[in-house]
Amino acid sequence: MELQFDTKTCISLAVLGFIGLLQLLYNALVAKPRRLRSLLSKQGISGPPPSLLLGNAMEMKLGQSTAVKAHTGEPPVSHNCAASLFGFFDKWRKQYGELFTCSLGNSQILFVTQPDIVREITTCTSFDLGKASYQHQVLGPLLGQGILTSNGAVWAHQRKILAPELYMEKVKGMVNIITESAITVADSWKSMIETQGGTADIKIDQYMRSFSGDVISKACFSSNYSKGEEIFLKLRLLQEAMSKYGISIAGQLPAMRYLPTKGNREKWALEKEIRNLILEVVKERTTVDANEKDLLQMVLEGARDSNLSQEETDRFIVDNCKNIYLAGFETTAVSATWCLMLLASNQEWQERVRAEALSVCGGGIPNADTIRKMKQLTMVINESLRLYPPVTIMSREVFNDMKFGDITVPKGVNIWTMVCTLHTDPDIWGPDAFKFNPDRFENGITGACKLPHLYMPFGVGPRVCLGQNLATVELKILLSLILSNFAFSLSPKYTHGPVLRLVLEPEHGVDLLVRKL
Ligand code: HEM
């Protein structure tokens, strides 16, 4: 039977639909945050007054760089470290204290820098506290339902599968591939220096990316490594498309994610290509009966042992490959980039760490044994991760009312722990908190600050970074090799501008003047 509506009915239905949509938007953007705010304010937690619909989003300007536009090559002044991105937060903290709340789109955020509550939150093992669902909604195409976005039993299962593959013993077995990739970077710099007459002006970001992409492709895909590189290249494109179109306030509105806009169409096409490429590698392995022992194989076996349907198995594999990429690729690349920027602008430290690398390695290639002995280099890496932590906000969502200290945090609230602020708080680090001073780590993290649990470049607690060992070994090998072969300073082209994309990046890249030693 065919239904027929007259014009009047059609108009009424359209009006009803429109009212329904407005109602949904009102509930998500106004009523829900208002209810959560009022529950928090009854406990004495206040915050800046939100504007209608966008909450406090306009004041936060997340993602905007505080670039020092013209740079003449001298070291970036201390207040331009990553913490300067969160000026809005410091202003509010002064006004409202160590626990305050604000609204962002349809999320009600509880900002926490109160040390005891930070400890309780970061070490909490309850499944009632997990990765914020807005992260999953906004980053969905990039991460799917892999370890970074999953919660509860699904997350615990994924972590159990991946963790043993990233233990220090396994990482030691990856030293050769890491060294190979570092040598490739050094060789290309040497030939640039030769062709440019002794000193090359190099934008280093792309080299750091190739290095960490190379390592993670080999660790993850071993013999299928070239296909791995293709996959990671497409993931990078997807990430760029997401930054361009998705990681914005608009991306938090559910309707925006499903409209066939140019950005969404680009995202969907890339997502499909990535999925097909990963599943091709999986198919090759299952038909050729490959005997690989890499991260992909662990994910594959983990999926097979989990009694999942074919579709669930495919999703498990695809999503976790994407997660390893995102977790291990950009973070390590930007950490190396920031570290070199800091060494370029602190020549004294550059010389100190070079002297250590040359004396420990005797001019040879670094290995698992020698990098362990590089104490000064460890101090520099720690200090660089303090001032420029790639992950600047640790966010969690409360899935059921939870109690932290005296506060009951209602279900639905997002908790943000502000890593940059904690890493540069003069009450914790002393009056030189904004300065690059690796000496503070001479006696490790406990010697460097009053409250070591507030130093968290790799996170803390049950969800601490699984790739911490791999990342540290990668950074030490790459940096010691570069320091043993080259001297470098900031190029006059360099413009300092930390910017918050998926990770904390230098907006204009890092340009160095490099000469061979
Ligand atoms: C310098 C480089 C890196 C930094 C700064 C870093 C930082 C972090 C941080 C802060 C977290 C915790 C996020 C949270 O609690 O919300 C995390 C989680 C994670 N990282 Fe890393 N990471 C780095 C490199 C790597 C590498 C090389 C890998 C592996 C290939 C990796 C794999 C992971 C995984 C799988 C998780 C999720 C753990 C979980 O949720 O259980 N990371 N990372």
29-127+391-456 shares its CATH topology with 152-390+463-516: no
Residue with tokens 């670039």: 67
Residue 324 Cβ inside 6 Å of ligand 1? The answer reads: yes
What's the gap in Å between 466 CA and the centre of ligand 1? 6
Spell out the domain ranges in the chain: 29-127+391-456, 152-390+463-516
- pLDDT score, position 264: 79
The pLDDT confidence band at residue 29, using thresholds 50, 70 and 90, is confident
What's the gap in Å between 84 CA and the centre of ligand 1? 23
Residue of 152 and 50 predicted with greater confidence: 152
**DSSP codes of every residue in 366-388:** --HHHHHT-HHHHHHHHHHHHHS
In this prediction the pTM is 0.89
Counting Cα atoms < 13 Å in the Cβ hemisphere of 165 gives 21
Q: What is the mean pLDDT of residues 4-26?
A: 80
ipTM: 0.99
The pLDDT confidence band at residue 251, using thresholds 50, 70 and 90, is very low
Q: To test the ligand 1 pocket, which listed residue (331, 332, 338, 464) has its Cβ within 8 A of the most ligand atoms?
A: 331
DSSP element (H, E) containing 484: helix 468-485
Residue 232 Cβ inside 6 Å of ligand 1? The answer reads: no
CA dist., res. 149 & res. 132, Å (int): 8
Structure tokens at 340: 């070199």
465 annotated as ligand-binding = yes
Q: What is the mean pLDDT of residues 63-90?
A: 55
CA dist., res. 348 & res. 350, Å (int): 5
Residue 47 Cβ inside 6 Å of ligand 1? The answer reads: no
Residue 174 Cβ inside 6 Å of ligand 1? The answer reads: no
CA dist., res. 466 & res. 324, Å (int): 10
Backbone angles phi, psi at 422, to 5 degrees: -65, -35
The pLDDT confidence band at residue 78, using thresholds 50, 70 and 90, is very low
What's the gap in Å between 364 CA and the centre of ligand 1? 30
CA dist., res. 454 & res. 429, Å (int): 10
pLDDT digit string, tens, across residues 456-493: 999 999 999 999 999 999 999 999 999 999 999 999 99
Residue % of the chain over a pLDDT of 90: 46
**Domain spanning 29-127+391-456: which CATH class is it, in words?**
alpha beta
* Single-letter amino acid code for the residue at 422: L
CA distances for 449 relative to 103, 115, 162, 383, 441, angstroms: 32, 13, 32, 12, 9
Q: Atom 20 in ligand 1: which residue has the minimum CA distance?
A: 465
Return the axis-axis angle of helices 310-328 and 330-345, rounded to nearest 10°: 0
Q: What is the homologous superfamily of the domain 152-390+463-516 according to CATH? A: Cytochrome P450 (1.10.630.10)
What's the gap in Å between 395 CA and the centre of ligand 1? 13
Structure tokens at 27: 């509930």
Least trusted range by pLDDT, from 50-59, 210-219, 502-511: 50-59
Q: What is the mean pLDDT of residues 249-274?
A: 72
Encode burial over 90-121: b for 16+ CB neighbours within 10 A, e otherwise: bebbeebeebbbbbbbbbbbbbbbbbebbbbb
Residue 296 Cβ inside 6 Å of ligand 1? The answer reads: no
Neighbours of 240 (CB within 10 A): 14
- pLDDT score, position 249: 43
CA dist., res. 454 & res. 116, Å (int): 10
Q: What is the mean pLDDT of residues 213-241?
A: 82
What's the gap in Å between 476 CA and the centre of ligand 1? 17
